[in-house]
């Protein structure tokens, strides 16, 4: 499986040089990161097939990889998946255990050995989660020892109106208001151009780079230049095996949060791009 990923054995060094891990000489290199968000997909059989596919694939060690199955499959994936691919959850509750029907606490995830959780995904924000609630979830998860993929992003109307930063920056500010400097070491930021998720549209590498650079600059203003330099910023706009190489070559794109393609063999091509 993942036959095209065999190319990685001879091209890793070149690609790593091109990426340069997207860091300047002032900071430790930012290791490339690819997260796979399986969303509300899967059956017992499909999840087993996905785990088998990943276990048999050739994945570069130059990329940190995390997959996030639906909560009901997290423990099974955690038990069966190869050790160099981490398992994360797609969301968690803003508080601990208790009378919160239907919720999953960060305490539970930590108890299972889950290391990562996606927070503030656009599909959660679309259900009414405000910036302050998202930030509180992120902080609670961090305090329980989890690392987080902190999402932000703008809808099509903001992109067309030229107000992307006006939409995204308050989302980032809400995170920064509750994070300590130490917290940021366990955070990757995932920029989601909402208009490019599941629509067949993809930001050009130049569009994505422009927004990633603006996000990094703004993080520097609200959290410090060292935090900005070290924080990995992922592109979360429906990247594919075809679009990932061009995007990953940009200096402020440190990886991807992948949706639909994480359920397909091309996920390995994205990891290895």
Separation of alpha carbons 171 and 244, rounded Å:
25
Residue 123 annotated as catalytic: no
Q: What is the C-alpha separation between 243 and 203, in angstroms, rounded?
A: 10
CA-CA-CA-CA dihedral for 41, 47, 49, 51, to nearest 10: 120
Catalytic residue among 121, 129, 154, 266: 121
Q: Annotated catalytic residue: which of 64, 123, 154, 192?
A: 192
Per DSSP, the residues of 144-170 read TT-EEEEEE---HHHHHHT-HHHHHHH
Q: By the 8 A CB rule, do 128 and 167 touch?
A: no
Name the residue with tokens 């891990």: 21
Give the Cα separation of 21 and 87 in Å (integer).
Answer: 22
Beta-carbon contacts of 253 under 8 Å, excluding residues fewer than 6 positions away, are: 22, 205, 208, 209, 212, 233, 234, 235, 247
**Nearest-CA neighbor of 87 among 107, 65, 67, 57?**
67
Question: Measured between alpha carbons, how far apart are the two ends of the chain, in Å?
Answer: 17
Is 192 catalytic? The answer is yes
CA distance 268 to 145: 28
Q: How many CB atoms lie within 10 A of CB 25?
A: 5
**Which active-site residues does the annotation give?**
121, 192
């Amino acid at each position: 499986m993942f036959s095209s990923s065999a190319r990685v054995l001879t091209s890793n060094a070149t690609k790593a040089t091109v990426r340069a891990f997207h860091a300047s000489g002032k900071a430790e290199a930012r290791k490339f990161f690819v997260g796979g968000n399986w969303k509300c997909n899967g059956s017992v059989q499909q999840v087993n097939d996905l785990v088998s596919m990943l276990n048999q694939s050739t994945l570069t060690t130059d990329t940190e990889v995390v997959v996030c199955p639906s909560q009901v499959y997290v423990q099974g994936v955690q038990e069966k998946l190869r050790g160099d691919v981490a398992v994360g959850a797609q969301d968690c509750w803003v508080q601990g255990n208790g009378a919160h029907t239907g919720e999953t606490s960060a305490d539970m995830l930590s108890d299972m050995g889950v290391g990562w959780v996606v927070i503030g995904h656009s599909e959660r924000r679309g259900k009414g989660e405000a910036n302050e609630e998202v930030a509180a979830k992120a902080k609670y998860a961090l305090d329980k020892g989890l690392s987080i993929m902190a999402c932000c992003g703008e809808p099509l109307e903001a992109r067309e109106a030229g107000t992307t930063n006006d939409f995204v920056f308050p989302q980032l500010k809400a995170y920064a208001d509750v994070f300590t400097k130490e917290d940021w070491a366990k955070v990757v930021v995932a920029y989601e151009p909402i208009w490019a998720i599941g629509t067949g549209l993809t930001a050009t590498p130049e569009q994505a780079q422009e927004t990633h650079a603006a996000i990094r600059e703004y993080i520097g203003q609200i959290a410090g230049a060292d935090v900005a330099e070290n924080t990995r910023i992922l592109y979360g706009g429906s990247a594919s095996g075809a679009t990932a190489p061009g995007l990953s070559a940009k200096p402020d794109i440190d990886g991807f949060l992948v949706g639909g393609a994480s359920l397909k063999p091309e996920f390995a091509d994205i990891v290895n791009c």
